[in-house]
Copies of this chain bind each other. A is one copy, B any other.
Amino acid sequence: MAPVAPRSGDAIFANVERVNAELFTLTYGAIVRQLLTDLEEVEEVNKQLDQMGYNIGIRLIDEFLAKSNVSRCIDFKETAEVIAKVGLKMFLGVTATVGNWNAEGTTCSLILEDNPLVDFVELPDTCQGLYYCNILSGVIRGALEMVSMKTEVTWIRDMLRGDDAFELQLKLLKQVPEEYPYKDDE
């Protein structure tokens, strides 16, 4: 199959069904609050948010592949760029910068200056260990696993903790080779 040019995140985002961002933000806030009440331990909430994100990511990748015309990324570098410029735009309406690559090209950061998940959010002192946006790291981890990349995704900077941006580190642990021969239309 001849490669089809990936559509830009903007173009896709303009055409997918959407809901109001504030409704999403408040709904997400309600989840976090619920988990804090039910689980009590902040560390457990972090884990649960990551797991919820993972479950979402393994499904969201289908919509991404269906609507983005991204067929296969050559390497982890291209994958990171596609997440930053197409994936985040398509789902959250924002983009990220990719940086802080290690020499081997297996670790990088997505740097977000805008993050709709945290609008109006302030963490009380009791939640200082919370990774409020941990659902997002889970989504990326889950989605990548569905395209054969096992990754570890962790927050390096977090504006809710006083940092100047959100920085999400992606570490490629293992790339499962795809099975050949395969047919593109399968």
Q: What is the interface of chain A, defined by CB distance below 8 A to chain B?
A: 13, 16-24, 26-28, 30-31, 34-35, 38, 48, 52, 55-56, 59-60, 63, 90-93, 116, 135
Contacts and interface: CB of A to CB of B under 8 A. Distances in A.
A93 B17 contact: yes
Contacts of A23: 24, 56, 60, 91-92
B20 A91 contact: yes
A31 B38 CA distance: 12
15 contacts: A18-B19, A19-B19, A20-B90, A20-B93, A22-B60, A22-B91, A26-B59, A26-B60, A27-B27, A27-B31, A27-B135, A30-B52, A30-B55, A34-B38, A34-B52
Oligomeric state, in number of copies? 2
Contact of A20 (B16, B31, B35, B52): B16
Contacts of A16: 20-22
Interface of A, secondary structure class, is helix
A116 B21 CA distance: 14
Contact of A116 (B19, B52, B92): B19
A50 B35 CA distance: 16
A20 B64 CA distance: 11
A27 B13 contact: no
